[in-house]
Structure 1
């Protein structure tokens, strides 16, 4: 059995000296007396080939420490494993843990990569804003590899039933982040896909959709005469009537430009950039809709917008709402004033 006293007397560069305690453990002598390196020679149960495993330098690694490391390696071999591969796997895991991003770091990286493809500033703010509100405070500092489905379920539970739309969006964004992490080999797969199994069932979309308060369609002609065409024809009233006649959204009408009108065909083409679905939309214009445009046409040199504000910019959403609130226009929702968006529902009815 090799001792320190014997090891210090071994001649430099002589043949490797067997430890005599652990099978295959040997001290390979260097060119300096009393120094060398430990080596464990074994046959890998995995490959069936002979392999050499370094265990450190002597005397930095003592004989006792080298024997302990050799016995641990032999235990791996006895279990059918390869200690060299086990060592490499452990080192890889250590490196991964060192470079593993936190959920907030990964989330902000994903956000920066996705941001150029978002439609508008509002969507950009909502995407990162919901994570900052609901997720980062609780999971932001946690390493990606530690997160489980239960962690995301705990975050979503307070809003899962009370704010189902928001919860669904937050869940989707968390899943996007974790799938990004899986694609970069930080984790095997996103755990967010299993969140539904840990939370109560949400109401169906039809059950939870809250419709905008609308004027019953049979009452719209009287409403137009009593509110929209009575008194001074303000910009808000004209824009609101045009919205009703075209069954379009408030933003589409308020940002409507003269260049979008085909006067001969009586067609208004809304560019895809302003459409919710991202596809250009052609709107046929009725005689009354054309009459409104003809009345506005003399002022087209003032602003590119058909229904501008006093400073020539796009009309604010409040201008349409004000026409309804000032007249206290009742809706099909008890106790609530009708909304501009509700006229799309009236049109559908």
Structure 2
């Protein structure tokens, strides 16, 4: 009588090479593909249908191990269970377990990678990573992102909410964004424990109640003509950049990163692209006669695409250049940004130019939605008159 089980031997298995199925009995087969790949297969009938389940490749599963696996499959069948369905279910449960075990740190890393292309600079992404890794990740540790609750969020925020309010507020927003991302990706469910309105606003005091507003030190507008006279005696790109910043009421980065491509001296305009603006909108700056003269002077000595070249070739001035200049001038009490306040005070206290004109000159976003809806133009011609008046005051 022919042998019905354990038909194969280890030697026969190793020598077999012809593509096909070689039965060991009781549903276990050695499968050889046309490419010569050997693997184990368990074949059976379930509810009148023929099914087959892979038990692994020969290089990883021996004949003895394959027989044990086949035995387990037959036990499942005796118990009324489909071994293939059991295998698929186990794989799905394992995948779900791994899916739900992803940590906050991994989610934060993925969130930053997905969004950093839309951020203005690599510095912004670095700030995100720095605040999250410094304050959040030590508390969340290696916990699954699904396990993060209000108590853990409060454990992160409470120690710094009163002492580092600005940092804590940004941190809360970043945690909320990462958790929202994790929810959409299916890594967690339920409400976001880092949300502010209707949740953390009941547990933490408002920023306005505990944070003092720190204004940039500004020069009184009455002292500006004398300051400009001193500034104009100094040589160098930093001095000229600060002079232009004052004449145009622009921000530090907008000024030091100015390129000749943005400047149209014939039209007397300097168009700062949206990517370099805080509000993300293109800003046209009308140039006064003094500003045009400054650009023309820089044009004569410029050798790069930047109006104000820094210490490194083909690079603009550094962010610290203007602050260092003010220190050398004995003006440690001032910041370059503060001259925007000087300009705003001068407009409000000494001129009849309307408020919205000054706000447009400073490239401020109008908070009043109705007012903003009607402000479709950039008031360039009227701003040109304002900036000429400002220039005449600053450089009499």
TM > 0.5 fold call: yes
Q: Does 1:202 align with 2:207?
A: yes
Q: 1:348 aligns with which of 336, 344, 347?
A: 344
Equivalent residue, structure 2, for 1:298 = 300
Matches within 5 A, 1:53-132: 96-100=96-100, 101-132=102-133
Q: 1:239 aligns with which of 238, 241, 262?
A: 241
The size of the alignment, in residue pairs, is 261
Residues 51-104 of structure 1 show CA distances to partners (whole Å, capped at 9, x for unaligned) of xxx699xxxxxxxxxxxxxxxxxxxxxxxxxxxxxxxx9998876444311211
Unaligned stretches of 5+ in structure 1? 1-33, 40-53, 57-88, 330-335
**Cα distance, 1:266 vs structure 2:** 0.6
Q: 1:130 to 1:55 in 2, by over 3 A?
A: same
Q: TM-score, with normalisation over the residues of structure 2?
A: 0.60
Instruction: State the distance in 1 between where 2:269 and 2:194 align.
Output: 46
**Cα distance, 1:145 vs structure 2:** 2.3
Residues 321-344 of structure 1 show CA distances to partners (whole Å, capped at 9, x for unaligned) of 222111212xxxxxx520111101
Instruction: State the distance in 2 between where 1:251 and 1:35 align.
Output: 70
Equivalent residue, structure 2, for 1:337 = 333
Q: 1:250 to 1:177 in 2, by over 3 A?
A: same
Q: 1:324 to 1:36 in 2, by over 3 A?
A: closer
Equivalent residue, structure 2, for 1:24 = none
**Cα distance, 1:297 vs structure 2:** 2.0
Instruction: State the distance in 2 between where 1:36 and 1:239 align.
Output: 82
Whether the 8 Å contact between 2:116 and 2:122 is mirrored in structure 1 is no
Q: Determine helix, strand or coil for the equivalent of 2:208.
A: coil
Instruction: State the distance in 2 between where 1:247 and 1:180 align.
Output: 39
Whether the 8 Å contact between 1:152 and 1:195 is mirrored in structure 2 is no
Equivalent residue, structure 1, for 2:10 = none
Instruction: State the distance in 2 between where 1:172 and 1:288 align.
Output: 43
Whether the 8 Å contact between 1:324 and 1:339 is mirrored in structure 2 is yes
Q: 1:324 to 1:102 in 2, by over 3 A?
A: same
Instruction: State the distance in 2 between where 1:210 and 1:246 align.
Output: 23
Equivalent residue, structure 2, for 1:307 = 308
Q: 1:252 aligns with which of 251, 254, 257?
A: 254
Equivalent residue, structure 2, for 1:136 = 137
Q: Does 1:228 align with 2:224?
A: no
Q: 2:219 aligns with which of 211, 215, 237?
A: 215
Q: 1:270 to 1:37 in 2, by over 3 A?
A: same
Whether the 8 Å contact between 1:150 and 1:195 is mirrored in structure 2 is no
RMSD: 2.9
Q: TM-score, with normalisation over the residues of structure 1?
A: 0.68
Equivalent residue, structure 2, for 1:191 = 193
Instruction: State the distance in 1 between where 2:265 and 2:157 align.
Output: 52
Residues 4-25 of structure 1 show CA distances to partners (whole Å, capped at 9, x for unaligned) of xxxxxxxxxxxxxxxxxxxxxx
